[in-house]
Each structure stands twice: as C-alpha cells, then as structure tokens.
Amino acid sequence: MSDPATNPATDPATLAQYLAGWSGDDPLRRAVAETVEVLGQAIVEIAERLGRGELDGPLGGAVGRNADGDSQATLDLQAHELVLAALAGAPVAWLGSEESESPIALRPDAPLAVAIDPLDGSSNLDTDVSVGTIFSILPALPAATPTALGGAARHPLLQPGSSQLAAGFVVYGPHTALAVTLGAGTQVFTLDRAARTFRRTRRDLAIPLGRREYAINASNYRFWDPAIQSYIDDCIAGAEGPRGENFNMRWIASLVAEAYRVLQRGGIFLYPRDARPGYGEGRLRLVYEANPIAFIVEQAGGAATDGVSPIRSIEPHALHQRTPLVFGSRDKVERVARYHSDPPGLGEASPLFGRRGLFRA
C-alpha cells in the first residue's frame, strides 16, 4: 500500500470523482457508487445538525427505545429519517437500520441492500464526544432464494460480511471524516464544509504495525473470559511481563472514534462477550456495525474477529444480532485468538497478573 497521506492540493479527488473513476461502466459498481454518494449527502446533513449542537435544541436524552431495547435520542431518529429520504431514489431494494425493527422495503427491483447505524454512539451527544454513522452495502439477493443452510430462505440483509460490496463509517469530530472501502483499499475523505463536499485526504490506508496501544473497557474485567483477562494481564505487566514491552490503554467509548484511531495509529480494540446479563453474545451489532468495520479494517491490512473467528465469516440470523468484536493490527488480533486456543501457553505466562499470580487467588 502506498503512503496514506495525501495533499488535497495535489490529489483533489472528491468522493464523487473517486466513485466515478472506480465504477466506470459496470452497472453494479455504478449502483454502489450512486448509493455511497447519496449516503454522503445524508451524512453532510447529519454533520451540519450535529455541528449546531444545542442551538437547535437538546441533542441527547432518551426519547424512546429502538427495537433492540437501546435508548433513542432525538438525533437517532432524525439521522434515520435523513438516510431513508436520501435512499428513496437510490438503487436500493432494502434498508436495515438500527432504528427500525424490521427491514424497510424501498425498490424491489433494485440491486442493492443497505444496513446502517445512522447515528452510532448517541449516548455521547451530551458530552460532545465523537459520534458517527456506519454503513454496509450488500447485493440484494432475492429474499426467497434458498441457501445452503438446509434450504432455508435468507433475507438479503442476512448475508455474511464477506458478501459486502462496500462499507464506510463516519466520525463527526473536530472535522468530519469518512473512511470507506469499495473492496479496493481503504480511503479517507474529509468534509469540506464550505463546499459541502468530501475530499480525499488519505489514500490506501495501511494500519501501522508494532504500535503498543489497546482499547478496552477495563471496568468489566471481572466479567471477561479468562482468555481476555490473560491477554490484558500480559499487556498490563509491561516490560516486566511476557510481552517484554510497555502498553498504553485508550478507551473513548465511541466505536467509530476507536476505529478511526486504530486506522491511523494501529493497535487493537476489544469489545468481548462477558458474563453480565445481556452481554453473553457481545454487545455490538454484527450486520451494521461489526461487518462494515471489519471490511474497512481488513482492506487497510488489519484483521477483525469475534475473538476467534473472522467477523466476516459469521452467518447472521437476525438484523439486530450482537457479536463480540476484536479488530486492529493483524498480529495483535491473531494473538488474541491464540489466547483462546492455547491459554496455558500464553495466559499463565505473567507472574504478577496471571490467574494464579500475586494479585489473584
């Protein structure tokens, strides 16, 4: 992969220009390009609304609950409506949104399906922490087409992440950044607010290797599986432990912000399953959070798993299905998998922080 840094003065490609160059005359690619472009237009509207903060009224605060039981802020619903309106004329047959219990039928003869979290991390709105939008674009296979799984019908939105045609996520932070992949590397576009246009600022991003950062919510330590506890123990042990080097911990509690940091700086992010009620299958959504993040990370040379298996190999059985998620530099993600498969060889290695160490019985 090339040097990811670009200068908009010498590489002035807008998102529309990049999409046009990639799609050419291929009908399916042109449909994907059109869909990404209209999603970009909705994202500009969401960014402008977020940028006004509380000038237009309160941003946070629950106004209800979505189909999966999570609280909804006013802006969750507004972002959903903006996306729905933008896709009304796009070549999209189905929309699966975090804010809708069931898939929404749009154009039955269209070639694509879109899965989206219109406003990820809305619980952070009151504290002005970065939030985002995450989307996945899939081929719209006929809903009644039998699959190899016993002949059962499978909805287009319930394809494994390996079927994705494109994916993207947005970080609404000090600037609005869009990380997107069309299966040809990971590109980053920055919103030019004056022109209401996205311009490419990073091309063919490659996740840096050798960085010693990990992101996890350490307050849940006592609920983790032993393999995750052992992995973090060995990071905490630092230079005196089996890893032989010191690590820094980062935790923003915003999936898109964590993903963007990993793309730029390397390291690893972990949101494992744990023993708390409701967390046994993980907490992040497979279809419209984990799968698109995984596609983007893999296209930047990284890896993404549920701790053991590649995220994009998992067969979804429900739109709002949850999953554990581990992603980042490939070597670190693979190491976490080894802690699950070979705990005696790795997890017991730390003399101070192992399960039989000084600080645990």
Active site residues: 70, 76, 98-99, 117, 119-120, 289
348 is in an annotated binding site: no
130 is in an annotated binding site: no
217 is in an annotated binding site: yes
Secondary structure in 3-state letters for 222-265: HHECHHHHHHHHHHHHHHHCCCCCCCEEECCCCHHHHHHHHHHH
* Cα-Cα end-to-end distance for the chain: 47
Annotate 21-66 with DSSP letters as a single string: HHHTT-HHHHHHHHHHHHHHHHHHHHHHHHHTGGGGS---SEEEE-
Distance CA 88, CA 90 (A): 6
Query: What stretch of H or E contains 8?
Result: none
61 is in an annotated binding site: no
SS3 content of the chain, % helix, strand, coil (to 5): 35, 25, 40
45 is in an annotated binding site: no
Distance CA 78, CA 128 (A): 18
Query: What stretch of H or E contains 190?
Result: strand 186-192
248 is in an annotated binding site: no
240 is in an annotated binding site: no
315 is in an annotated binding site: no
Residue 86 tokens, joined? 């933008």
68 is in an annotated binding site: no
Q: Are 325 and 311 in contact (CB under 8 A)?
A: yes
Residues marked as binding for Mg(2+)? 98, 117, 119-120, 289
Residues marked as binding for substrate? 120-123, 217
